[in-house]
Structure 1
Amino acid sequence: MVGMCCNSNITRKYKPFPPVNLPNRQWPSKTLNKCPRWLSTDLRDGNQSLPDPMTVEEKKEYFNKLVQIGYKEIEVAFPSASQVDFDFTRFAVETAPEDVSIQVLAPCRPELITRTVESLKDAKRATVHLYIATSELFRDVVFGVSQEEVLEKAVECTKLVRSLTKDDPNQQGTYWAYEFSPETFSDTDLDYAVRVCEAVKEAWGPSEENPIIFNLPATVEMAMPNVYADQIEYFCTHISEREKICISLHPHNDRGSAIAAAELAQLAGADRVEGCLFGNGERTGNVDLVTLGLNLYTQGIDPKIDFSDLASIIDIVERCNKIPIHPRAPYGGSLVVCAFSGSHQDAIKKGFQKQNKNGEWRIPYLPLDPADVGRTYEAVIRVNSQSGKGGAAWIILRSLELDLPRGLQVAFSKVVQSRAEILGRELKSQELVDLFETEYYLSDDIKSSNVEYFNLIDYTITNPTKDTRKFSGIISFKENNIELEGTGNGPISSFCNAIKNKFGITLEVANYHEHSIGKGSNTKAATYIQVNYTDDEKITRWGVGIHEDVSQASIQSLLSVLNNLYEQKVIKI
């Protein structure tokens, strides 16, 4: 069968993107060791991409969140486009903290630039961002202009911005920055892009203290991310007065490589990254600032953005964009820290048990501590019919402090699997805890009931001889109090003997485990006993008991087994 993409004309229809002639490229041997300057374009580029653009109130809420979590440069609007955009720019100017720079965008059209600058009046820090398409495709197909015409327009408009901002005596109260974008840089001849930017730089007159920002966008992602890195390194090494320039990246995600492109391009020399929270934007989106920031965080680099309450950021983004975050989106997706697979759950559980005392995070399958983004550990392991023993055991450990022995983990996992198959869905943590307490007769309702289950009323352990223990006690069953007596070499064996004496039931203890839970005066003993019962065939059951007294906890474990055997109609009394 011929695939839909197989086409004899494909080599005529599509051409491979030409590589960059950069024989001595340096970026592959470098590593990231600091965060870039960040620019959020959510309120401008991200907003323009929405089927239903944000309301003014939503934009205000979004803006305040961006400021709260630490973004210092925010592109807020296209103020010449509408009165709403102009008015929102005024809101941002009037409410932004002194260390936050308000950025606005305009094309290289003189009649729009005056209105754009006017929107920034009295700002503390402001960046005017102009763009003009420089690629051959856009010059020929969209605008019908020559290389020289584009260059002249870029210089003319840059000089206009300068005259209206830093050269205007009435505008000296504002720290003015200037950003220029050779739009469609990713498809522009590199030498021509450098030539345009050299002319723009000369027209603006930057300094080391206030560098010009050259935004080099992958307006359309057209090649592998290493090619974009080559383009950035070529530009960085061919532009003059590099110390007076901030190289900014604006990757789109048409090929699904925006994250990689942004990271490699930083290695290639870029200083700044522009994008949106969770990658909203035109077509397949702008680069995802959350993923970029938390990628740095997991490498021990402070992104200078506060993602500790990621849920509140997700809430803002989903409500204002009216687009849900994908459940598998890196870091922010609702399922990304969840393990359903049994082998994954077992590895995660063991990782937590062996977590380094020095604080280094080394947990299988979890590159980031969920707590660092405000998620509870209960969200890490979720249990369904595909889960193994480790997942349920981990939730019981986190919820009840019960560290189940391996054999009990296996036994309980079968109970969990059966329940999940009946429900046809995963079990929530509390449902799983309730199931465990019911299965092993630990719930308060069962403990207080004397109708259908065996319960311990009272008992004593005495020493008739040096090597003998005697159990004397009362248990309740079916509204009756039953007296028991038995002997053995300890509390467990003497109780088993008492059960045999009264009911003719032989319980053989195969495994015993115990540990303490709680601290100080609230410490209790948790006991786990594996019992073999043989009638026509050998049947194995686990019992669980919890009490301040370890002997009573052990007796409760045995009663747990007895209750299970009775309820399953293995024994009759």
Structure 2
Amino acid sequence: MTGISFTLNDKVRIALMLDDLGINYIEGGWPGSNPKDAEFFREMKNHPLSNAKLAAFGMTKRKGVNAKDDVNLNAILDSDVGVAVLVGKSWILHVREVLKVSPEDNLDMIYDSIRYLRDHGLTVIFDAEHFYQGFKEDPDYTLRIARTAEEAGASAVVLADTNGAMLPHEIYEITTKVVKEMKTMVGVHMHNDSGCAVANTVMGVLAGARHVQGTINGLGERTGNADLIQVIPNLVLKLGLKALRSLDDLKKLRAVSRFVYEAAGLSPNPYQPYVGDYAFSHKAGLHADGVSKVTRAYEHVDPELVGNSRRFVVSELAGSSNILMYLRDLGFNVTKDDPRLRHALERIKELENEGYSFDLAPASAVLIVLREIGVFRDELRIDYWKVVSDDDMHVAMVKVNGELGVAEGVGPVHAIDRALRSVASRLFPELNGVILTDYRVILPGEVKNTESVVRVLMEFSDGKTRWRTVGVSTSIIAASVAALLDGLNYILMINHYKGSR
């Protein structure tokens, strides 16, 4: 995928995670194309796999070259793996206009390449590039490609939608026809250019394909490949197929997904089906009320099956059910008809109209509710703060709970963070273990009847849990102070409440 390049260490760690997940084959790269991929296969000798088989990728031999003299084929042998994945042309357009060989020569190239690797003891998976495009244009020739690979000894013939142009009904129709013609296992390899890679993969399986190729999080050429994080639970939970070793392996999907995002330098997609932060989050009051009574009313699977969890969003669209579920998860029992609860919800809606957004900062919303119902009083209260900046020097002074704190920082927000914490950690030593893991400034724009405001989101962690808070003001520093105070008060509230029970 454009913009992504994994280090050798990243690739090794991902391979080991995929092996632990229960993936059958791991295509480790193209050893004939670059030194890093060749080094990966050498390095993997130090990391024996318990479940998966490591495969090296390559293409069929070049025209006019004997298989035994082809550099790419021999690079696969040199990688010392037991499985090869060979890609070959199956669209007559590519045969004539890209390879510039005759249809018969292309068949010979495919047969000779597979046979050469088979004669050296390798299992060969043949990827028929642009198969679906080729089938629509010349089905007879494309089927000859599949049969040739079968005759040469391929263990699976994989039909590729390399352009990513196909729609699900086309995949089903064509795959069904090919499966009827083949004795060898048929596979599918989908790209996402039409937004259908996952759906096309599932339709291919319904049509009889039993070998599935894809990537974690759908990372791949152009708009990506089929996302195995979505494909696998669809196959297991919806179709009852054994794609992994056991149902327990599904619980690892979220962790694997997040690690690959991290290694790729990407932020996890919170809307990703099954594993995203918001995949099982409920914002509308109607939905939250339904889920609180019958979870399957608005959840297609149990989130715990895929290593995820249920979340209730507090916002201007929320009803009392959202707040009640949050409070109950924290251990607070409040009745739905409590007038203080309705008053808290009204306050939240008023604040959202002023520029707040509690979707990403539920901890701040929880504090509002607990203050309104009289359960919690802020442990930390700021009486005064001031920041002085001069060129590269930023000094902050705060008065918290009647005590003064002064600190210097690399910026005004950093300075006030350090000054506030210098007092807070003296009063509450447990706060020494709380770190700020994310800080964002958002400009919502003009807000009715006020000046232009900024919204500051902060994420905290104590090593065991994470929580987010929000502050809004016409000043970035003031908004940051509000979010910071909420973040520290929230964990104090959680710890003190748990300790009192």
TM-score (norm 1): 0.59
- 1:389 is aligned, of 317, 320, 323, to 320
Q: Secondary structure, in 3 states, of the residue corresponding to 1:216?
A: strand
- 1:232 is aligned, of 151, 156, 175, to 175
1:399–1:238 CA distance, 2 compared to 1 (3 A): same
- 2:258 is aligned, of 295, 301, 315, to 315
- 2:38 is aligned, of 64, 79, 86, to 86
Amino acid at match of 1:259: V
Q: How does 1:278-289 map to 2 (within 5 A)?
A: 278-289=217-228
**Contact 2:27/2:56 (<8 A) preserved:** yes
1:100 alignment counterpart: 52
Aligned-partner Cα distance in 1 for 2:258–2:318: 30
Aligned-partner Cα distance in 1 for 2:205–2:36: 35
Aligned-partner Cα distance in 2 for 1:393–1:423: 24
Query: Cα offset for 1:333?
Result: 2.4
Q: Secondary structure, in 3 states, of the residue corresponding to 2:297?
A: coil
C-alpha RMSD over aligned residues = 2.3
- 1:332 is aligned, of 275, 279, 283, to 275
Query: Cα offset for 1:134?
Result: 1.9
**1:58 and 2:58 are equivalent in the alignment:** no
Aligned-partner Cα distance in 2 for 1:325–1:136: 40
1:402 alignment counterpart: 333
Identity over aligned pairs, percent = 21
**Structure 2: unaligned runs, 5 residues or longer:** 62-66, 380-501
Amino acid at match of 2:206: L
**1:180 and 2:107 are equivalent in the alignment:** no
**1:293 and 2:245 are equivalent in the alignment:** no
Q: Secondary structure, in 3 states, of the residue corresponding to 1:153?
A: helix
**Structure 1: unaligned runs, 5 residues or longer:** 1-48, 167-175, 207-211, 352-361, 447-573
Q: Secondary structure, in 3 states, of the residue corresponding to 2:226?
A: coil
1:266–1:145 CA distance, 2 compared to 1 (3 A): same
**Contact 1:249/1:272 (<8 A) preserved:** yes
- 2:139 is aligned, of 187, 190, 194, to 190
- 1:413 is aligned, of 345, 360, 368, to 345
1:469 alignment counterpart: none
Q: How does 1:341-420 map to 2 (within 5 A)?
A: 341-351=284-294, 362-377=295-310, 380-406=311-337, 408=339, 409-420=341-352
Q: Secondary structure, in 3 states, of the residue corresponding to 1:80?
A: coil
2:427 alignment counterpart: none
**1:136 and 2:92 are equivalent in the alignment:** yes
Aligned-partner Cα distance in 1 for 2:211–2:239: 19
Amino acid at match of 1:179: I
2:244 alignment counterpart: 304
Q: Secondary structure, in 3 states, of the residue corresponding to 2:276?
A: coil
Q: Secondary structure, in 3 states, of the residue corresponding to 1:129?
A: strand
Query: Cα offset for 1:431?
Result: 3.1
Task: Give the number of the structure whose alpha-carbon radius of gyration is greater.
Answer: 1
Residue deviations 1:159-208, cap 9 Å, x none?
22123x22xxxxxxxxx31111221101113321222232333233x7xx
Aligned-partner Cα distance in 1 for 2:196–2:238: 20
Amino acid at match of 2:200: A
2:216 alignment counterpart: 277
Higher helix share: 2
**1:201 and 2:162 are equivalent in the alignment:** no
Amino acid at match of 1:127: V
**Contact 1:298/1:367 (<8 A) preserved:** no
**Contact 1:252/1:287 (<8 A) preserved:** yes
**1:118 and 2:66 are equivalent in the alignment:** no
Amino acid at match of 1:119: S
- Greater relative contact order (CA < 8 Å, ≥ 6 in sequence): 1
- 1:268 is aligned, of 207, 219, 237, to 207
Residue deviations 1:369-407, cap 9 Å, x none?
223333344xx1111222222211221222234141335
Aligned-partner Cα distance in 2 for 1:440–1:407: 9
1:156–1:400 CA distance, 2 compared to 1 (3 A): closer
Query: Cα offset for 1:417?
Result: 2.1
Runs of 4 or more consecutive aligned structure 1 residues displaced over 4 Å after TM superposition: none
Amino acid at match of 1:304: L
**Contact 2:255/2:307 (<8 A) preserved:** no
**1:161 and 2:104 are equivalent in the alignment:** no
TM-score (norm 2): 0.67
**Contact 1:342/1:389 (<8 A) preserved:** yes
Matched pairs, number:
362
1:364–1:95 CA distance, 2 compared to 1 (3 A): same
1:247 alignment counterpart: 186
Residue deviations 1:21-75, cap 9 Å, x none?
xxxxxxxxxxxxxxxxxxxxxxxxxxxx242411111111111111121112100
**Contact 1:258/1:286 (<8 A) preserved:** yes
Query: Cα offset for 1:416?
Result: 2.9
1:258 alignment counterpart: 197
Query: Cα offset for 1:445?
Result: 7.5
Aligned-partner Cα distance in 2 for 1:414–1:342: 14
Residue deviations 1:295-314, cap 9 Å, x none?
23443735426232444323
**Contact 2:287/2:298 (<8 A) preserved:** yes
